[in-house]
């Protein structure tokens, strides 16, 4: 809630309505009723407000920020500290959505008793405490990752798994390549999703897999699947905020925008047009005009100001000539 009074020049966020907060139990109820779950990424206060206004179920602080916010070609350069900073930007928004963040974990040793799992749990706890999130998203389906997911869940933290194309593992996958395109790979996608369910994950993201493979996983699981480039048969869908809005209209972003993304708008074109118009109006002197110069003085105040200013200005000129 903002401390800025409503009648000041700059406005602030409205009080949050905690009774309307979208929580995990509501998510599970939607799944049981067969109602599709909507997920969109957000990286700052304005995007979080837009998601809340639209009633999007889950607001994901994705590592995709590395690409669409920081301008990198992959998600790898972003750090945990940067993710926590972005998460903090969402907390000040009047947001009633379920808040989810990608949890960045480094390589872990292959045994459950290793220090790696303790660090995984510590990182997840830090994300919830410092980032203020409701749950974490954990990429990968290796035995070490599944054990880490189980350890985090047993520590009392809600986890959503992520299989198929996992952007944090592109060095192993050989780039941003779709998964599940042959028999062994397809079976691995479904089996890994089931293993994550057994580890206690409340949902699984399926990224860049053929629609029949996603359908098989969705049918096999008793938890919701969230598809991204995985066809229409998942329990819900997720897209990147900048992608679905057509926010970035330039060759570099066109190169990295995924084929599966639908542009629901071309916001980038609107932004560019507005900026060009602003530049033109400032250049030709038409902005700001009378309607955008709202602050006035009454006649007595204005005359008094000019009288005092003229005397001071004249005195300064006389002093300079001495």
Tokens of 136: 């974490």
Comparing 142 with 38, the larger pLDDT belongs to 38
More confident residue, 47 or 314: 47
Where residue 262 falls among pLDDT bands split at 50, 70, 90? very high
Set 207, 277, 281, 307: catalytic member: 207
Higher pLDDT: 32 or 309? It is 32
pLDDT (0 to 100) of residue 181: 94
Q: Which residue has the tokens 């179920």?
A: 57
The contacts of residue 248 (CB under 8 Å, 6+ apart) are 68, 242, 257, 268
Look at 23 and 150; give whichever has higher pLDDT: 150
pLDDT digits (tens, 9 = 90+) for 125-148: 998 888 889 999 998 888 989 999
The highest-confidence range among 138-142, 213-217, 255-259, by mean pLDDT, is 213-217
Residue with the larger pLDDT of the pair 104 and 150: 150
Instruction: Indicate whether 123 pLDDT > 60.
Output: yes
pLDDT 10s digits, 276-287: 999 999 999 999
Q: Reduced to 3 states, what is the DSSP secondary structure of residue 58?
A: strand
Residue 207 designated active-site: yes
Instruction: Give the span between the Cα atoms of 56 and 90, in whole angstroms.
Output: 14
> In the predicted model, what is the mean pLDDT of residues 7-12?
48
Residues 6+ apart with CB under 8 A from 130: 84, 87, 88
Tokens matching residue 197: 């369910």
Encode pLDDT of 39-84 as tens digits.
Answer: 999 999 999 999 999 999 999 998 888 888 888 887 888 888 999 9
Chain mean pLDDT for the chain = 85
Supply the pTM of this predicted model: 0.84
What pLDDT is attached to residue 171?
47
230, pLDDT greater than 60: yes
Answer with the residue of higher pLDDT: 321 or 222. Answer: 222
Strand runs (DSSP E) across the chain, as ranges?
37-41, 58-61, 98-102, 135-139, 159-164, 203-207, 225-228, 236-239
In whole angstroms, give the CA distance from residue 138 to residue 162: 6
pLDDT of 190 > 50? The answer is: yes
């Amino acid at each position: 809630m903002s401390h800025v009074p409503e009648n000041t020049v700059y406005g602030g966020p409205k009080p949050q309505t905690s009774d309307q907060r979208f929580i995990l139990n509501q998510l599970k109820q939607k799944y049981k009723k067969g109602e599709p779950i909507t997920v969109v990424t957000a990286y700052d206060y304005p995007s979080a407000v837009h998601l809340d206004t639209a009633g999007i179920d889950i607001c994901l602080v994705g590592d995709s920020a590395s690409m669409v916010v920081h301008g990198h070609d992959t998600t790898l350069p972003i750090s945990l500290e940067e993710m926590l900073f972005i998460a903090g930007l969402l907390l000040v928004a009047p947001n009633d959505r379920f808040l989810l963040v990608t949890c960045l974990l480094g390589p872990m040793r292959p045994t459950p008793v290793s220090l790696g799992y303790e660090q995984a749990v510590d990182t997840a706890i830090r994300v919830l405490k410092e980032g203020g999130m409701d749950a974490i998203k954990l990429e990968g389906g290796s035995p070490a990752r599944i054990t880490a997911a189980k350890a985090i869940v047993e520590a009392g933290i809600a986890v959503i798994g992520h299989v198929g194309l996992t952007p944090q593992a592109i060095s192993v996958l050989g780039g941003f390549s779709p998964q599940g395109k042959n028999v062994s790979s397809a079976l691995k996608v479904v089996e890994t999703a089931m293993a994550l369910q057994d580890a206690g994950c409340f949902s699984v993201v399926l990224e860049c897999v053929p629609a029949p493979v996603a359908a098989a996983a969705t049918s096999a699981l008793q938890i919701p699947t969230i598809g991204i480039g995985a066809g229409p048969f998942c329990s819900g869908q997720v897209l990147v905020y900048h992608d679905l809005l057509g926010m970035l209209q330039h060759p570099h972003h066109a190169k990295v925008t995924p084929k599966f993304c639908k542009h629901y708008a071309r916001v980038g074109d609107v932004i560019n047009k507005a900026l060009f118009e602003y530049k033109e109006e400032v250049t030709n002197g038409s902005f700001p005009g009378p309607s955008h110069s709202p602050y006035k003085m009454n006649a007595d105040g204005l005359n008094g100001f000019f009288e005092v200013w003229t005397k001071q200005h004249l005195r300064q000129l006389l002093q300079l000539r001495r």
